Amino acid sequence: MVNNWLKITHNWLLPDTCILCDRMGVAGHDLCDGCAAELPYIGIACERCAIPLPAPGVCGQCQQSPPSFDAARALFYYREPLDQLIKGLKFGGKLHNARLLGQLMAERWQGSAAMQFDAIVPVPLHPARLRQRGFNQALELARPLAKALELPLLPQLSQRLRDTAPQLGQSAKARRRNLNGAFAVTMPDPASIRRVIVVDDVMTTGSTAELLAKALKQAGVEWVELWLCARADLPGRSV
């Protein structure tokens, strides 16, 4: 009862404000109806890599060369105005953007049989990058998901061993070479962690997810599913 009154008082004194246009937010979010309607939600997508498709199923590339991760879902295209929110988070330190985006991910997927999973694992940053940025955007996105799904959040499960060069603008081959040997997984109790959700902000070629999934599988994880805030357009593969 006290918590409810505190929440009501907070909402009356400090109402939610849209982080894109500064109008009043709605539905308990820092987002107004107009800006919410402009977010580039993905509809039908490949069940394995989350690339948009015209019909449900698995894309040709995943059929020919299945990735190490077992499934993937992405909420948005990496397009305006969503890209502004992610850039503001990563490069502007706007952690409230992560809270909003994580909440939207949770609301969309909360009913997706969360009990089938044992833990949530954010894609790690190298310690040097973490010190520079001050936070891990994947971890901040994962917090609302872990709370909504009532699953353990295990950022300590995986570590980034190499401070790799920025991935943006590199070819798929260069990305794989850049990330080779980048991840290590420490599994305290392999028997209790069989199915995990890996959370990240944006996936482009999937090189990062591929190598992290391999490391998790080698450590004993049986099922790795990616939950992504956004999927970048790939020439010739997006719709």
Q: What is the pLDDT of residues 189-235, one digit of tens each?
A: 878 899 999 999 999 989 899 999 999 999 999 999 999 999 998 76
Backbone angles phi, psi at 116, to 5 degrees: -75, -15
| Contact status, residue 145 vs residue 120, Cβ threshold 8 Å | yes
What percent of the chain is modeled with pLDDT above 90? 66
Query: In this predicted structure, what is the pLDDT of residue 124?
Result: 95
Query: In this predicted structure, what is the pLDDT of residue 138?
Result: 97
What secondary structure, in 3-state letters, does 7-44 show? HHHHHHHCCCECCCCCCECCCCCCCCHHHHHHCCECCC
Mean pLDDT value of segment 112-136: 88
Calculate the average pLDDT of the chain: 85
Query: In this predicted structure, what is the pLDDT of residue 115?
Result: 63
Q: What is the band of 12 on the pLDDT scale with cuts at 50, 70, 90? A: very low
Q: Does 29 score more than 70 pLDDT?
A: yes
Q: Does 105 score more than 50 pLDDT?
A: yes
Q: Which of 106, 64, 99, 105 is nearest to 85 (CA)?
A: 99
Return left, alpha or beta for 84; rule: phi > 0 is left, psi -120 to 50 is alpha, else beta.
Answer: alpha
Query: In this predicted structure, what is the pLDDT of residue 196?
Result: 96
Which fold does the domain 45-231 belong to in CATH? Rossmann fold (3.40.50)
Query: In this predicted structure, what is the pLDDT of residue 10?
Result: 39
Q: Does 239 score more than 50 pLDDT?
A: no
Residue spans per domain, the chain: 1-38, 45-231
Query: In this predicted structure, what is the pLDDT of residue 215?
Result: 94
17, with CB counted inside 10 A (0-12, 13-18, 19+), is: middle
Query: In this predicted structure, what is the pLDDT of residue 78?
Result: 96
pLDDT for 55-95, tens place per residue?
999 999 999 999 999 999 999 999 999 999 999 999 999 99
pTM of the model: 0.85
3-state secondary structure of 181: coil
Q: What is the DSSP secondary structure assignment for residue 57, as one 8-state letter?
A: B
Query: In this predicted structure, what is the pLDDT of residue 51?
Result: 94
Q: Residue length, the chain?
A: 239
pLDDT for 191-201, tens place per residue?
889 999 999 99
Query: In this predicted structure, what is the pLDDT of residue 236?
Result: 57
Q: What is the band of 114 on the pLDDT scale with cuts at 50, 70, 90? A: low
What percent of the chain is modeled with pLDDT above 70? 82
pLDDT for 173-185, tens place per residue?
555 555 667 899 9
